[in-house]
Amino acid sequence: MSAFAARLRALGPWLGEARHVWLALAVNGVALLVALRPGTSEPVIRLAGLALQVLGIGTVIWGISETRALFGHPSITSKAKGWLGRFPLLKRNIVLGAAGCEMGSMIGKARAYVTHNPVPTPTVEARLEALEKNVVSIHERISQTQNEMDQELQKANEALKAEKQSREAEDGALHSKLEATGTGGVHISAIGASWLFVGVVLSTAAIEIERLLK
């Protein structure tokens, strides 16, 4: 019983995959039921065909809206509202906004180092000791600089890797959008074509269909 219930629940999503087919068939079916009833007059048949033709032309607007939404553009309705809202004779409240400006400070690294000098009257041992300390200090400074260079290089590599991944993701999204633009509107065009086909047949052959129904 549980397996049957699971299959029954999966039936809804499976039927939903062909929702555009059901939409096209449902509209055509309603129009044909209205137009092909026994005793239907010629004007009713013609009007049913006209309604289907108008709906078929409306799918063009539907496809344009889907394409605009795919690329993040506002809908045709919102564009029309914005255009009407900019009518020159309308009184509008002008709001002045204050823009804040932020100044960033450049932070640099300051390095301090110590030089070991011998006493005013140095001996050979004092000079050697000062040289050894200076060599150790130079070695520490070189090691510190090398570590900083390694860290900066690692940061640069990570930034390049992140930018590469971001570009690959953007390229993939762009490819998907282009593919959807080229092929994604086929179902809308197919719906419009079916409605236009049935509508043209009903409108063109309305008199002949009326005679057959009588």
pTM of the model: 0.51
Residue 187 corresponds to which tokens in the numbers above? 């179902």
pLDDT of residue 101: 43
The type of residue at 208 is E
pLDDT of residue 98: 46
10-residue stretch averages of pLDDT, the chain, 214 residues long: 74 82 90 88 91 90 78 74 79 54 45 60 76 84 90 91 88 73 70 90 88 82
pLDDT of residue 38: 86
pLDDT of residue 70: 72
Contact present, 194 and 47 (Cβ < 8 Å): no
Q: Which long-range contacts (CB under 8 A, 24 or more apart) does 141-149 make?
A: 141/111, 141/113, 144/111, 148/109
pLDDT of residue 95: 54
